[in-house]
Amino acid sequence: MIEVRKIAGALGAEIGNVDLSRPLSAASVAGIRAAWLEHLVIFFRDQVLTPAQFLGFARALGEPMEYPLLKGLPEFPEITEVKKLEHERANFGGIWHSDTTYLERPPMGSMLYAREVPPFGGDTLFANQYLAFETLSEGMRRMLEGMTALSSSAKADATKTREDRMKTQARDDLPDEYLAEHPVVRTHPETGRKALYVNVAHTVRFKDMREEESAALLGFLFQHQVRPELTCRFAWRVGSLAFWDNRCTQHNPVNDYHGYRRLMHRITLAGDVPR
């Protein structure tokens, strides 16, 4: 039986008594998925995984997809390197976000596996978007339900975090911009719970409104949805693995380790059209 230990009040749990390098039983897969749905992000420690084993674990939980902006590993295109080198100042994705909400079908979840970590820093923050919605006033919840927002891959604060990697790992023939419209409040297809589904990295404006008209309300939501009491924080070690539900969480890698190298492998799992 797997072991589950909560790490914070809002979300997050560490999973123990499991070796992800070996094929998992149906009961173990079911237990891991149940813990993931309950805690939104789950963490595994001290896992020694080849890329093939990492991909095998991902396939047990979902359908790996290629990341739309960067090339994957030559033999494993579904695995993307997420790295910051010693001389670089920006960290990839270093802003609060839900992954690739600028796609028509954003991912169900993402897995991140630590291969090299700095001697300090480089933690990742996660935020519970069920609670972000539920802690709004009744009037605000009522207003937001039924609203739609536009997400873009070209929002400036997000593109700055990708500049180093785009120089060396960008896909060929990328479009200038990915754009998608999604509900501001989405219903989780497995739990039925409602989650706030805007994020500062990609959400540009509300549908049928200009950016300047949307700015005040979006600014409030961006601050509200990452309040400290809605978050947890994970400190990485080599061999750590995180698996988060992109439909009801946001994450933010902390950029506090200049001068050191950090190398992670990421797998994204295909999702559905938000409703």
**Catalytic residue positions?**
97, 99, 251, 266
> Would you call 6 exposed, middle or buried from its count of C-beta atoms within 10 A (0-12, 13-18, 19+)?
middle
Least Cα distance to 97 among 6, 160, 15, 140 occurs for 160
The single-letter DSSP state of residue 70 is B
Instruction: Give residue 275's identity as a one-letter amino acid code.
Output: R
232: left (phi over 0), alpha (psi -120 to 50) or beta: beta
Instruction: Give residue 74's identity as a one-letter amino acid code.
Output: P
CA pair distance 250, 260, nearest whole angstrom: 25
Vertex 19: Cα angle to 76 and 58 (nearest 5)? 35
**Beta pairing partners, 242:** 43, 112
Rounded alpha-carbon distances, angstroms, from residue 214 to 96, 135, 194: 19, 21, 22
Rounded alpha-carbon distances, angstroms, from residue 37 to 5, 13, 31, 130, 190: 14, 11, 10, 12, 8
Helices in 42-106 by DSSP H: which ranges?
Answer: 51-61
What are the tokens at 159?
């593109």
CA pair distance 163, 134, nearest whole angstrom: 36
β-strand pairing of 13-16 with 41-44 = parallel
State whether residue 138 is helix, strand or coil: helix
